[in-house]
Amino acid sequence: MNILVTGGCGFIGSNFVRLLLESDRSFRLVNLDKLTYAGNLGNLADLSGDPRYRFVKGDICDREVVDRIIAEESIDRIVHFAAESHVDRSIDGPAEFVRTNVVGTFTLLEAARSAWLGGGKDAGERRFLHVSTDEVYGSLGETGYFTETTPYDPRSPYSASKASSDHLVSAYCHTYALPVLITNCSNNYGPHHFPEKLIPLIILNALKGQELPVYGDGSNVRDWLYVADHCRAILTVLERGVVGETYNIGGNSEKRNLEVVETVCDILDEVAPPLSGNAPRRSLIRFVKDRPGHDQRYAIDAGKIRNDLGWTPEVTFEEGIRRTIDWYLANPEWSAAILSGSYQDYYSSMYSERLQERGGESAAPAG
């Protein structure tokens, strides 16, 4: 396989690249990443000398760059992670989400169509795997699950941009016979997770004794998936998935946001240096003004990928959250490099006002 991974320096992408480079599979991998705020070369620094691996700094919206990589490396697999993915940022500035998630996906599809199908060529064993999210389905009530046939009902600029890209990918399969696959996953967590997201935000704030902002009353429910399990699922779909199909990937771990925050606090009280006065970290929890259009519950039915391809998650939430906390404790230099002035400016603009509006009520934002 000659694989192009887009966004391979981001959270999920870097974990996927690491999975491949640590496997015994025969492949050539090119990582195309623009290195925006969430793309970090440090995520793969220890693997950069692998002869099977090449990094290219570039934009997925740049057709010339994409065409050149596909031609030079004889790419026959594309795994498309690159995306703007934080709901709060999409509310504050939706234009970049449309550009990256919609126009970027369109550019990749056109490049693949030209290279693989141009001049009447047969796509053969080539594959274009588009990594998407369960947020395209909207919000669930107290019961029910998202399946691959659930109607799309996006509620934020982020989820709308991902829904748009999903539809484009599907259309290229039906219109041009481009060999595509789509995966829609639940909330990921694990090593190298950018600290604007719930779990790393809570870990890092709680270690420093800072307030832990939780949207609304913390009752919103998410299905949590350890990132290594997600990457195994993506590789399974890439190798054995049926062209034109969509596969939902979930962790079978529904948790209320407040429950997640409290779990992180309790584990840190066990394994990290105590706070001043031995105060429990739960005392840092503050409820803040809710996000506009905040979806109440996501839950994935992963029966299709389990029954058709034999994938199931291996890591329970209890095990995965401890692994994640251990990684952040063991890698303080990674976090320190991320938590720079630009991130602090973002954090202040996003949460300081909400904390003030709620008057500092006790018990973070979540996707």
Q: What tens digit of pLDDT does each residue of 93-111 get? A: 999 999 999 999 999 999 9
Asked if residue 179 belongs to a domain, the reply is yes
Rounded Cα gap, residues 199 and 189, in angstroms: 7
Is 166 part of the annotated catalytic residue set? Answer: no
Reported as a pLDDT band with limits 50, 70 and 90, residue 115 is: very high
Is 96 part of the annotated catalytic residue set? Answer: no
Higher pLDDT: 355 or 337? It is 337
If one counts the domains in the chain, the total is 1
Read off the pLDDT of residues 308-333 as tens digits, 9 standing for 90 and up.
Answer: 999 999 999 999 999 999 999 999 99
For position 347, what pLDDT does the model report? Answer: 47
For position 349, what pLDDT does the model report? Answer: 55
> 136 with 167: CB under 8 angstroms?
no
**Could you tell me the pTM of the whole model?**
0.91
State the Cα torsion 170-172-176-180 to the nearest 10°. Answer: -60
Higher pLDDT: 350 or 223? It is 223
Asked if residue 355 belongs to a domain, the reply is no
> 257 with 202: CB under 8 angstroms?
no
% of the chain at pLDDT higher than 70: 92
Reported as a pLDDT band with limits 50, 70 and 90, residue 360 is: very low
Asked if residue 175 belongs to a domain, the reply is yes
Higher pLDDT: 321 or 50? It is 321
Rounded Cα gap, residues 177 and 24, in angstroms: 31
For position 46, what pLDDT does the model report? Answer: 84
Reported as a pLDDT band with limits 50, 70 and 90, residue 47 is: confident
> 71 with 115: CB under 8 angstroms?
yes
For position 348, what pLDDT does the model report? Answer: 56
Residue 65, pLDDT above cutoff 60: yes
Residue 362, pLDDT above cutoff 50: no
Asked if residue 334 belongs to a domain, the reply is no
Rounded Cα gap, residues 276 and 87, in angstroms: 34
Read off the pLDDT of residues 145-196 as tens digits, 9 standing for 90 and up.
Answer: 999 999 999 999 999 999 999 999 999 999 999 999 999 999 999 999 988 8
> 62 with 108: CB under 8 angstroms?
no
> 166 with 136: CB under 8 angstroms?
yes
For position 340, what pLDDT does the model report? Answer: 66
Q: Say how many residues make up the chain.
A: 367
Reported as a pLDDT band with limits 50, 70 and 90, residue 234 is: very high
CATH code (residue 33): 3.40.50.720
User: What does the block give as tokens for 19?
Assistant: 């999975």
Residue 85, pLDDT above cutoff 80: yes
Residue 30's H or E segment, with its range, is strand 28-33
Asked if residue 139 belongs to a domain, the reply is yes
Catalytic residue (one of 134, 166, 229, 295): 134
User: What does the block give as tokens for 282?
Assistant: 């739960």
Read off the pLDDT of residues 282-291 as tens digits, 9 standing for 90 and up.
Answer: 999 999 998 8
Read off the pLDDT of residues 292-311 as tens digits, 9 standing for 90 and up.
Answer: 888 899 999 999 999 999 99
Residue 268, pLDDT above cutoff 50: yes
Q: Can you give the residue range of the structural domain that contains 233?
A: 2-189+226-249
Asked if residue 103 belongs to a domain, the reply is yes
Catalytic residue (one of 53, 137, 145, 158): 158
Asked if residue 165 belongs to a domain, the reply is yes
Is 158 part of the annotated catalytic residue set? Answer: yes
Higher pLDDT: 24 or 329? It is 329
Rounded Cα gap, residues 41 and 50, in angstroms: 14
Given the structure tokens 């105590």, which residue do they identify?
274
The mean pLDDT value of the chain amounts to: 91
Reported as a pLDDT band with limits 50, 70 and 90, residue 357 is: low
Asked if residue 168 belongs to a domain, the reply is yes
Catalytic residue (one of 84, 88, 135, 229): 135
